[in-house]
Amino acid sequence: MKGKNRTEVGRRDFLRGLGLGAGAAAAASAPLASSAVAAESDADKRKTRYQETNHVKAFYQVNRYPPKKK
């Protein structure tokens, strides 16, 4: 195998290239994710997001969660 010209990509070389490509893609998308988090203000972080609507109540009832005590 020493004197053989390698014109085709071996399995290990292919997998190594995939690993490098995935690492580069993750590194490129990291700044995009951090800017989305920074766009949320302190007031938005503290506001109430949970709302018990009819479909949420139906979900609880179907999955047999104990009723909410008032």
The whole domain housing 22 covers 11-62
Q: SS3 breakdown of the chain: % helix, strand, coil, rounded to 5?
A: 60, 0, 40
50 within a domain of the structure (yes/no)? yes
45 within a domain of the structure (yes/no)? yes
Q: What is the pLDDT of residues 18-64, one digit of tens each?
A: 787 777 777 776 666 555 556 778 888 788 888 889 998 899 899 98
How far is residue 21 CA from its own chain's centroid? 18
Q: What is the pLDDT of residue 55?
A: 92
Q: What is the pLDDT of residues 3-13, one digit of tens each?
A: 566 667 777 87
4 within a domain of the structure (yes/no)? no
For the chain, the distance separating the N- and C-terminal CA atoms, rounded to the nearest angstrom, is 77
26 within a domain of the structure (yes/no)? yes
Q: How confident is the model at residue 2 (pLDDT cuts 50, 70, 90)?
A: low
